[in-house]
Amino acid sequence: MSDNKVNILPYTPVNILITGGAGFIGRAVANYLVSKYNYNIIVVDVLDYCASVTQLDKKILFIRGDICNMSQMNDIVKKYNIDTIMHFAAQTHVDNSFNNSIEFTKTNVLGTHILAQVAVDNKVKRFIHVSTDEVYGEQSVNDTTGCIEKSTLNPTNPYAATKCGAEFIIKSYQKSYNLPAIITRSNNVYGYGQYPEKVIPCFIMKLLANKSAVLPIHGSGNALRNFIYIDDEVDCFDVILHYGKEGSIYNISGNNEHSVNDVAKILCKEFDMPVQVEHVADRNFNDQRYFIDCSNLKSLYESIGRKMHLTSFEEGIKKTIEWYRKYGTQTWNKVK
């Protein structure tokens, strides 16, 4: 128990709308909150290719919907007396953003703007906007401190730019309309249930299908990414939902920094096979490193007498492989 604990009354939601709740992180948060607290959870998701309703807890009400449809969002918030919005819905795959950037702007910026207006119009009490560490842009491999929440935003790809745009919408609504919002910026999340377009589940699924698989790596593979296990990420959202301060921004960092080459080596070792990779054409621009400081979030944990839990990469990878070994093929063959 930390000596820094103070008597903080938690925010207690009743009816939570989780956008993008059939996606990887939103779904895990929705399942956790309904299981632990028995909150009324309403998930809205457009059901893009990477979504999975079958993995949602049966107690969760699922509605197929589009955050860019203002009338629909307004009707849902009114009908279910929503007091809390956790906004996970977004186009997130960076590779796709280079080929279809207009759709990223539509979903990530316009969709966020619509939700912010709906939240204000219906007097929503808490709005958590889920952003990314990519808004800070590329950091030097020699940096030992990491970006803090007040660091300059410097996006270098269309996806990150749209997430910056969405953040600015939220910040403007905080000032102009008193939107009770909190922004989060997280490292790469990995773990069970992630659609296999991201590097870790992609490599795992290839290795499960063929132990002699050749793993495709963008460019040199030296780009560094910091990874956080899904259960740790969910716990962070639990704390931020209940104890986060309105108007605050919280970096969420996993403290597991590895290059893509390292990830390939780690996974091949777990499968007891030699490393076989193919270096394919790189992105138009590939940030070599994202590095953030989450001291602000750690202080929030300390204020409630807890420490932020971080699963080791070795343990998280073993758990992730086991899930895909049991459920990966059957889940993504019937994804919806």
DSSP 147-210: B-TTSPP---SHHHHHHHHHHHHHHHHHHHH---EEEEEE-EEE-TT--TTSHHHHHHHHHHH-
Question: Is position 190 annotated as part of the catalytic site?
Answer: no
Estimate the crossing angle of helix 158-177 against helix 111-121, to 10 degrees.
Answer: 20
Q: In the chain, which ranges are continuous DSSP H helix?
A: 24-37, 70-79, 94-99, 101-105, 111-121, 158-177, 199-209, 230-243, 260-270, 295-303, 313-323, 329-333
Q: Which of 159, 195, 290, 324 is catalytic?
A: 159
Output the CA torsion sign for 143, 147, 152, 156. positive
Active site residue 134: yes
Catalytic residue among 133, 167, 232, 287: 133
**Which residues, in sequence order, are CB contacts of 109 under 8 Å at separation 6+?**
162, 165, 166, 169
Is 3 among the catalytic positions? no
Nearest by Cα to 191 from 15, 1, 7, 27: 27
Which of 134, 138, 149, 233 is the catalytic position? 134
User: Any idea which residues carry the catalytic annotation?
Assistant: 133-134, 159
